[in-house]
Amino acid sequence: LHGEDGDDTYGDHATEHGGDLSRSVNISVSGAWLNPGGRRGGGRRRAKFGFRDGSPSKGTDSRPERIRQVADDALRRLQTDHIDFFYQRRVDPDVPIDDVAGTVGELIAAGKVRHFGLSEAGVATIRRAHAVQPVTALQSEYSLWWREPEEQIVPTLTELGIGLVAFSPLGRGLLTGTITAETKFGDPRANPDAFPRFAEENWQSNEALVELLRACGDEHGATPAQVALAWILARNPTDVPIVAK
């Protein structure tokens, strides 16, 4: 299930966007579709918490009472008795990760949540959280274009038995082979001023990587994007790329 911003979530979009009726209705309709006849159907339900009113611009909010509110609202709108994966969207500097993990652990003990996930957390945070409540998966940017997690994050996940959910596995679109130096981005997150990897002075090295993927793909009848995704899966079959960008 994918939310409107590609964040792999439904639950907290219904709650963390507060009065946004269209999104809440969308969640409720999805809940009815997933549970024909009032019975839980197939598929896994994911929800996230971590931002005040669901808006990154308003800052983080992982207070225990907020976590419980997001979970209960997600259960109600998804019309289900449990959430399969419950992720913290961003680490909250004002709330100890031990408290966050403990609160999710209580939800797991109550049967409301099955698995606990983190997003873009550092090694120390991952270890502290995992010591309180086992972490099932970590979401982090990872691709042939962005391999920084290999330095410390990936070894830690391997040691602790935590899965990696790789977002932007296609390098925010670059590894599809469809972006050129003249491409204009509608998403401000891909603006060269905010994202130096898209800056003109870096384009030559970027283009070389794409051409390498294209050549490899031509040998195997695949696109650059397919090669980029195959690379992630080949490195660790338990890694899961979020194919959105």
Question: Nearest CA to 102 among 74, 75, 68?
Answer: 68
> CB neighbours of 87 closer than 8 A, spacing ≥ 6?
8, 9, 46, 47, 48, 49, 50, 116, 117, 118, 119, 137, 139
- The burial class, CB within 10 Å (0-12 / 13-18 / 19+), for 96 is middle
Assess contact for 35 and 42: CB atoms under 8 A: no
Assess contact for 34 and 83: CB atoms under 8 A: no
User: 152-170: buried (b, 16+ CB within 10 Å) or exposed (e) per residue?
Assistant: ebbebbeeeebbbbbbbbb
Structure tokens at 60: 């983080």
d(CA 14, CA 20): 8
The values of phi and psi at residue 152, to 5°, are -135, -40
Catalytic-role residue among 7, 9, 10, 168:
10
Helix (H) or strand (E) holding 60: strand 60-61
Tell me whether residue 10 is one of the annotated catalytic residues. yes
Assess contact for 106 and 82: CB atoms under 8 A: no
Residues with catalytic function = 10
